[in-house]
Amino acid sequence: MEITNKDVKSTFNHHASQYDHQRKKLIPCFDDFYSIPISLIEAKHDTPTILDVGAGTGIFSAYVKEKYPNAQISLIDLSENMIEKAKARFQDDSAISYMIADYTSYDFQTKFDFVISSLSIHHLTDAQKEKLYRKVYNLLNEEGIFINADQVLGSTPFIETMYKNDWNLKIERSGLTSEELKAAHERTKLDKMATLENQLKWLKDAGFSEVDCVYKYFNFSVLYARK
């Protein structure tokens, strides 16, 4: 069955209330997975402009705000329930703006110093990923940075199975309830992961001058691209 944006939106609307609570238990490398991207965000001033694509409840942006309290951040996500959680997280922060929309087709009217994303782009098809990387390149100011903390597909079926087995073992020991585990496994049906090798190539093809995977823990990876 083909997975659509409607499926992704419906699933994350349904799980929005539990999303933050489960993050650390579902991401075995949680601390590195978010702290390393934040260390890569080095702005030239204290009010960088940032676009968070597939922002969800705003976890990634919250860490950015700890480093740059005056950052101007735009959050975009398909799920209105996730955005509502983000609004609650940031309350009356006037430097945060919100868009409930599909970031692959949204017509952005400005450019940014940074574009960031976490655990969202792996829901796109390969063709959509390639197109998005070109779009992100065009959305960035000169010397702008794109950081994608996401899941990648194992380079071979054997490697992918190894990744899945490790994740399954660790989340089963995480303290999540059987219902939460079942829901987590159901959400993996939305995944359309691509290999690290392909994604690094697509970023280079998009025009980025500096591209690297700066962190990897099984299939959890942090990709860096500089315009």
Domain ranges across the chain: 5-226
The whole-chain average pLDDT of the chain stands at 91
Looking at domain 5-226, does it have CATH number 3.40.1380.10? no
CA 200/CA 148 separation, integer angstroms: 11
Average pLDDT estimate for 163-190: 90
Average pLDDT estimate for 96-104: 96
Q: Reply yes or no on whether the pLDDT at 56 is more than 70.
A: yes
CA 36/CA 148 separation, integer angstroms: 11
Residues 6+ apart with CB under 8 A from 57: 16, 19, 20, 82, 85, 86, 89
- Tell me how long the chain is: 227
What pLDDT does residue 24 have? 87
Q: Reply yes or no on whether the pLDDT at 9 is more than 50.
A: no
63 phi and psi angles, rounded to 5 deg: -70, -35
pLDDT band for position 108 (cuts 50, 70, 90):
very high
- Which range is least confidently modeled, 95-99, 185-189, 195-199, 202-206? 185-189
pTM of the model: 0.90
What pLDDT does residue 118 have? 96
Please report, for residues 26, 61, 225, the alpha-carbon distance to residue 89 in angstroms, rounded to integers and kept in the order given. Answer: 20, 10, 28
For residues 144-157, one letter each, b for 16 or more C-beta atoms within 10 angstroms of the residue's C-beta and e for the rest, the string is: bbbbbbbbbbbeee
CA 53/CA 119 separation, integer angstroms: 10
Q: Are 118 and 77 in contact (CB under 8 A)?
A: no
Average pLDDT estimate for 14-21: 56
Q: Is 81 helix (H, G, I), strand (E, B) or coil?
A: helix
Q: Is 114 helix (H, G, I), strand (E, B) or coil?
A: strand
| Tokens coding 195 | 């290999």
